[in-house]
C-alpha cells in the first residue's frame, strides 16, 4: 500500500481531473469515495477535509502555469512513516529542493499550525534517508488560499507565508538559485527510509528484536558505538585477567545512556540491566512483556541481602548510578553501591557499569552521588574507568581516564543540542542567556513555548498533534498536591495492574493516559521516560523572585532541599522530544 495519496509531474497535475484527484485522496485517507463520504462520512472531519482538498487543488492549478516549465513533481498526503501518522498536505519537488506546503482556507493561522509545519520540515530534513543522500534543501510554507498576501518569512518559525499569487513568486526566487542541482526521482524519494531516533520504549523493543539502530545524522555524529565497544573491551579485559572493574559511562541528558545500558545488557553474555527507577522498569517491562531483560534494583539487592542469593550475572549495569541510595535511605549498614560491589566481588571476575547523569537526584538518600561508589570500593581491589572523577576515587586500585566513556551528543531532542544548556541557564536564573539560546533553538526547530493558561497549553498540543499518535501529556512537581485543572497520577499499590503510571504511558483507553490530559505525572513517574511534547505545569513550589528562585513544599530531611526541588524541575523540563510548553503565571 502506498504511503501517499497522489503523485505526478507538474504536467500530469495540470491535466488531472479535480474530482478524480480528490476521490483518490479520499479513498487513500478514509477508504471511501467522495460520494460515499457525502452520504455517510467516515469521520466528523471527512467533509471539511474534502473541501480543503478542492481548495488546495484550485490554488495550485492557478499557480502552476507560472512554473510548470521547470522540472518537478508533487506528492499529496505523503505519510511520514514511523512519525505517528504525520502527513504534510503537499510536497513540491524542484531540483535540489523540497517545499513542504500546508494549505489553510482561513487567515487566522496560529502557533500550532506554524509549529506543525516546522516539525514536518525538521523530520524530513533530519531523518529522511533520500533527502540526506541527495542533499536536498527542505523549506516550508503556510499558504492562505483565499487572501492576497505579499511573500514574507515568519522569522520565528523560518517558514514562508503565502497568499494568492505567492507560490509563483517563491518558486521564481528559488529557481534563480537552481544552477547545477538535479531533480530527485519520485521513486528515489519514496524508496527512502524515515529513521528518527526511537523513544526509549521503541529502543528496548528494537534491541530485543536485534534490529539495527536507525542511521540518522545525529546518531552518526554521536560516539554511541565507540562507547559501547569501549565497555565491551574492558569486559573482555576483566574476563581475561580475572579482575574486577567499575566503569562510569557519562553523558548529557538525552545522550542515550539508558540506550547504551540496554544494548550492553542484550549483547554481553551474563549481563543484567538494573534500575532503581521503578516507573521506568514498570513501563519497560509492560511494553516488552518481559521481566528479565530489565529488572528492578530493589528486588535484585533484596534477594542478596535477605536471602544471600548471589545472582549469576558478571556484568552488572546500574542505571542512574549517581542516584544510588546511601546507607541511611537503605536503613542498613550498607549503601546500594556497597551491595552491588559485594555481589560483584563474589564472582571470579566482574564489571559494574554505572550510567551517570548530572542534576537528576530527586529522591531522599540520593545526594551522596559518585562518592558512595568510592566508599564502596575501599580495599576491594577495583579498577575504575571514567572520563573524569579521578579525584573522587582515591580508593581505586587503578584509575583509567577514558574519554571514550562519555556520550558527547544529545539524541533525545532531535538536534536541539542547545536545549539542555537552556535548561541549565533557566534553572540558574540566567534568563539573558536563555534568550540567546532560544534563537538557536528556533533554528533547530525545537519547540519552546510559555503560556499562562493550562487550557491554552492543552489546546495547543491537541491541535498540533491532531490525527497523529504522537504522545503528549502534563508533568508536574510532586510538591504540588492539587494543581488547578488537572489531577495527579496517584501512587499504585501492589494490587493495581497495570500500575497507574504505566497506564499514563502505555494505555490509550485509560483515563490516566497522557494524551487524555486529565492526569499529570510527577518527576518520579516520568524520569528516564519521554513524551513527544511535555506540558510542564509550573507550580507555586518554585517561584522566581528578585533574589532568585524561592522554593517551598520541601523535603526538610534532605541534605539540600532546595537543590532537590531544582532537580525536580530540571527533570520535568527535559521530558519532551519535540519540545516543551511551560504553563506558568510566574514572570521569569
Query: How many residues are listed for the chain in this entry?
Result: 588
Q: Within a domain: residue 1?
A: no
**Would you say residue 343 lies in a domain?**
yes
**Is residue 145 a part of any domain in this protein?**
yes
Q: What is the CB neighbour count within 10 angstroms for residue 394?
A: 10
Phi then psi dihedrals of residue 6, to 5 deg:
-160, 145
The answer on 281 and 149 residing in a single domain is no
pLDDT in the model for residue 359? 46
Looking at the DSSP bridge assignments, the partners of residue 160 are 141, 153
- Do residues 425 and 556 share a domain? yes
Both 339 and 237 in one domain: the answer is yes
Report the pLDDT value the prediction gives residue 178, as an integer from 0 to 100: 77
pLDDT of residue 363: 41
Evaluate whether residue 588 is within a structural domain: no
Say whether both 348 and 372 belong to one domain.
yes
C-alpha cell at 557: 530531611
Q: Are 344 and 439 in a shared domain? A: no
Residue 499 included in any domain? yes
Same domain for 237 and 342? yes
Is 547 a domain residue?
A: yes
Q: What is the mean pLDDT of each run of 10 residues along the chain (588 residues)?
A: 91 94 91 79 75 94 94 94 78 96 86 91 89 93 88 90 94 86 94 79 77 60 88 97 95 78 91 89 89 85 86 91 85 92 95 79 48 94 90 93 86 65 92 92 89 95 90 95 92 91 96 97 91 95 92 81 91 92 85
Strand ordering across the sheet containing 472-476: 447-451, 576-583, 531-537, 472-476, 519-522, 487-488
pLDDT at 365: 41
Instruction: Examine residue 78 and state whether it is found in any structural domain, yes or no.
Output: yes
- Rounded Cα gap, residues 168 and 214, in angstroms: 37
CA 444, CA 419: separation in Å to the nearest integer?
A: 10
- 351, 375, 407: which is the final residue of a domain? 407
How many domains is the chain partitioned into structurally? 3
Is residue 531 within 8 A of residue 578, CB to CB? The reply is no
CA 331 to chain centre: 36
pLDDT given for residue 474 in this prediction: 98
* Cell output for 334: 550498607
* Domain shared by 143 and 248, yes or no: no
Q: Output the domain CATH number for residue 359.
A: 3.40.50
Of 524, 515, 564, 568, the residue nearest 283 (C-alpha): 524
CA distances from residue 554 to 87, 113, 323, 539 in whole angstroms, order as listed: 46, 40, 19, 13
Residue 427 lies in a domain: yes
In order, the DSSP letters of 131-149 are HHHTT-EEEEEEEETTS--
Instruction: Please tell me the distance from the alpha carbon of residue 35 to that of residue 55, in angstroms, as a whole number.
Output: 18
Domain extent for 319: 201-407
Of 190, 215, 243, the last residue of a domain is: 190
pLDDT score of 240: 97
Is the domain of 380 the same as that of 489?
A: no
Residues 440 and 567 in one domain: yes
Same domain, 54 and 144: yes
Spatial CB neighbours of 18, under 8 Å, sequence gap ≥ 6: 54, 57, 58, 61
- Say yes or no: 395 and 478 in one domain: no
Instruction: Please tell me the predicted confidence (pLDDT) of residue 366.
Output: 38
The pLDDT value recorded for residue 84 is: 60
Please tell me the predicted confidence (pLDDT) of residue 21: 95
Q: Strand runs (DSSP E) across 346-463, as ranges?
A: 350-356, 382-386, 398-401, 406-407, 447-451
Last residue of a domain, one of 149, 170, 190: 190
- Could you tell me which residues come within 8 angstroms of residue 177 by beta carbon, excluding any fewer than 6 positions away? none
| Same-domain status, 346 and 487 | no
- Sorted by sequence, the CB contacts under 8 Å of residue 194 that are 6+ apart come out as 80, 81, 82, 83, 123, 127, 128, 129
Q: Copy the grid coordinates of residue 375.
A: 566508599
Amino acid at each position: 500500500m502506498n504511503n501517499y495519496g497522489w503523485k505526478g509531474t507538474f504536467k500530469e497535475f495540470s491535466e488531472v481531473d479535480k474530482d478524480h484527484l480528490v476521490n483518490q485522496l479520499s479513498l487513500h485517507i478514509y477508504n471511501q469515495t467522495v460520494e460515499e463520504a457525502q452520504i455517510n462520512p467516515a469521520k466528523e472531519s471527512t467533509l471539511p477535509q474534502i473541501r480543503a482538498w478542492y481548495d488546495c487543488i484550485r490554488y495550485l492549478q492557478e499557480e502552476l502555469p507560472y512554473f510548470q516549465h521547470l522540472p518537478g513533481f508533487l506528492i499529496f498526503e505523503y505519510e511520514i512513516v514511523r512519525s505517528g501518522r504525520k502527513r504534510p498536505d503537499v510536497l513540491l519537488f524542484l531540483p535540489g529542493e523540497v517545499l513542504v506546503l500546508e494549505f489553510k482556507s482561513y487567515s487566522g493561522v496560529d502557533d500550532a499550525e506554524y509549529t506543525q509545519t516546522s516539525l514536518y520540515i525538521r523530520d524530513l530534513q533530519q531523518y529522511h534517508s533520500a533527502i540526506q543522500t541527495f542533499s536536498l534543501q527542505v523549506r516550508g510554507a503556510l499558504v492562505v488560499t483565499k487572501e492576497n498576501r505579499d511573500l514574507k518569512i515568519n522569522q520565528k518559525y523560518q517558514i514562508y507565508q503565502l497568499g494568492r499569487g505567492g507560490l509563483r513568486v517563491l518558486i521564481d526566487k528559488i529557481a534563480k538559485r537552481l544552477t547545477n542541482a538535479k531533480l530527485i526521482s519520485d521513486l528515489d524519494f519514496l524508496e527512502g527510509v524515515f529513521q528518527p531516533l526511537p523513544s526509549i520504549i521503541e529502543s528496548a523493543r528494537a534491541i530485543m528484536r536485534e534490529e539495527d539502530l536507525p542511521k540518522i545524522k545525529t546518531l552518526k555524529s554521536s560516539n554511541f558505538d565507540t562507547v559501547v565497544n569501549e565497555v565491551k573491551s574492558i569486559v573482555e579485559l576483566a574476563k581475561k585477567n580475572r579482575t574486577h572493574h567499575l566503569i562510569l559511562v557519562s553523558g548529557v541528558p538525552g545522550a542515550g545512556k539508558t540506550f547504551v545500558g540496554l544494548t550492553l545488557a542484550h549483547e554481553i553474555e551474563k549481563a543484567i540491566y538494573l534500575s532503581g527507577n521503578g516507573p521506568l522498569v514498570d513501563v519497560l517491562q509492560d511494553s516488552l512483556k518481559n521481566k528479565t531483560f530489565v529488572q528492578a534494583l530493589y528486588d535484585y539487592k533484596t534477594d542478596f541481602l535477605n536471602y544471600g542469593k548471589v545472582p549469576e550475572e558478571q556484568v552488572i549495569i546500574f542505571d542512574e548510578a549517581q542516584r544510588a541510595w546511601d546507607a541511611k535511605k537503605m536503613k542498613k549498614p550498607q549503601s546500594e553501591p556497597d551491595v552491588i560491589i559485594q555481589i560483584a566481588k563474589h564472582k571470579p571476575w566482574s564489571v559494574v557499569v554505572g550510567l551517570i547523569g548530572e542534576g537528576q537526584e530527586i529522591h531522599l538518600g540520593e545526594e551522596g552521588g559518585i562518592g558512595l561508589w568510592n566508599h564502596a570500593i575501599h580495599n576491594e581491589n577495583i579498577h575504575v574507568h571514567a572520563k573524569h572523577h579521578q579525584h573522587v576515587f582515591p580508593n581505586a586500585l587503578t584509575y583509567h581516564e577514558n574519554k571514550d566513556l562519555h556520550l558527547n551528543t544529545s539524541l533525545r531532542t532531535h538536534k536541539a543540542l542547545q536545549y539542555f544548556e537552556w535548561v541549565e541557564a533557566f534553572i540558574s536564573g540566567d534568563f539573558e542567556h536563555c534568550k540567546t539560546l532560544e534563537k538557536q533553538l528556533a533554528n533547530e526547530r525545537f519547540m519552546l513555548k510559555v503560556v499562562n493558561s493550562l487550557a491554552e497549553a492543552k489546546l495547543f498540543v491537541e491541535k498540533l498533534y491532531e490525527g497523529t499518535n504522537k504522545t503528549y501529556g502534563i508533568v508536574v512537581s510532586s510538591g504540588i498536591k492539587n494543581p488547578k485543572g488537572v489531577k495527579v497520577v496517584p501512587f499504585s499499590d501492589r494490587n493495581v495492574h497495570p500500575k497507574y503510571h504505566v497506564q499514563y504511558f502505555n494505555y490509550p483507553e485509560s483515563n490516566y493516559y497522557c494524551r487524555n490530559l486529565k492526569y499529570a505525572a510527577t518527576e518520579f513517574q516520568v524520569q528516564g521516560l519521554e513524551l513527544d511534547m511535555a506540558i510542564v505545569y509550573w507550580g507555586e513550589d518554585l517561584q522566581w523572585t528578585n533574589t532568585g528562585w524561592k522554593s517551598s513544599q520541601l523535603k526538610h530531611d534532605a541534605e539540600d532541599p532546595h537543590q532537590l526541588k531544582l532537580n525536580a524541575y530540571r527533570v520535568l523540563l527535559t521530558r519532551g522530544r519535540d519540545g516543551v510548553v511551560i504553563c506558568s503565571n510566574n514572570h521569569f
